[in-house]
Amino acid sequence: MRTTTAFVLGMLIAAPALAQSMPERAGVNSTLGIAPKTADFVKEAAMSDMFEIQSSKLAATKLTGQAKAFADQMIADHTKTTNELTAAAKAENIPLPAAMSDSQEDMLTKLQSATDFSRLYFNDQVSAHESAVSLFDRYSKGGDDPKLKTWAGATLPALQHHLEMAQNLRKS
């Protein structure tokens, strides 16, 4: 009985810490338009950049013309935002993720073996940029770290432009 009580008490104490990121991971915050917590914003933004860079490096080896130019721009722009985010996170002692999410890893794996690479790449780019635009928009309006909030607002127009380019290239 004591063991069960101790376990339940421990879970109740740990629950808030474990659940802090749950609304962001589950997409609840996005659906409701709620700004993520700073640590969640940094984590999601960093993983988004990782996916953009990795998928676009692959695309740059497989695509030509405007599609390759888009991939090259994604590599350059998301490397720049990664460097800016890394500096900001270090200044605030916010840990950065070491890897992409499982779903992003799955998307990259599917992309590596795709027979219709261009279609899948641009579908992934549209989806990833829709998520990034939502994340940055919500944080720029309601984030709790003033420097990151300003950075998110300044970065948002480029992400919106990336989304528009990806949508246009997906149609062609």
- Give the integer Cα–Cα distance in Å for 48 and 20: 19
Answer for the pair 108, 55: CB distance below 8 angstroms, yes or no: yes
pLDDT confidence of residue 51 = 98
More confident of the two residues 3 and 111: 111
What residue ranges do the domains of the chain occupy? 23-171
Q: What is the mean pLDDT of residues 127-149?
A: 96
Encoded amino acid at 8, one letter:
V
Q: What is the pLDDT of residue 31?
A: 61
* Per-residue pLDDT, 27: 59
**Model confidence band, residue 10 (pLDDT cutoffs 50, 70, 90):** very low
Note the pTM of the prediction, 2 decimals. 0.82
The fraction of the chain above a pLDDT of 70, given in percent, is 81
Helix (H) or strand (E) holding 84: helix 65-91
Residues 6 or more apart whose Cβ sits within 8 Å of residue 30: 24, 131, 134, 135, 138
Terminal Cα distance for the chain, rounded: 65
- Residue 111 to residues 31, 34, 44, 58, 107: CA-CA distances in angstroms? 27, 31, 21, 9, 6
The per-residue pLDDT for range 62-84, each reduced to its tens digit, is 999 999 999 999 999 999 999 99
- Band (172; pLDDT cuts 50, 70, 90): confident
Residue 32: the pLDDT is: 65
What superfamily in CATH does domain 23-171 come from?
Answer: Ferritin, core subunit, four-helix bundle (1.20.1260.10)
Cβ-in-10-Å burial (0-12, 13-18, 19+) of 162 comes to buried
What's the confidence (pLDDT) of residue 109? 97
Q: Decide: 43 and 21 in contact? Cβ < 8 Å.
A: yes
pLDDT confidence of residue 7 = 46
Is pLDDT at 46 greater than 60 in this prediction?
yes
pLDDT of 29 = 61
Comparing 70 with 11, the larger pLDDT belongs to: 70
Of residues 25 and 150, the one with the higher pLDDT is: 150
Instruction: Please give the mean pLDDT across all residues of the chain.
Output: 87
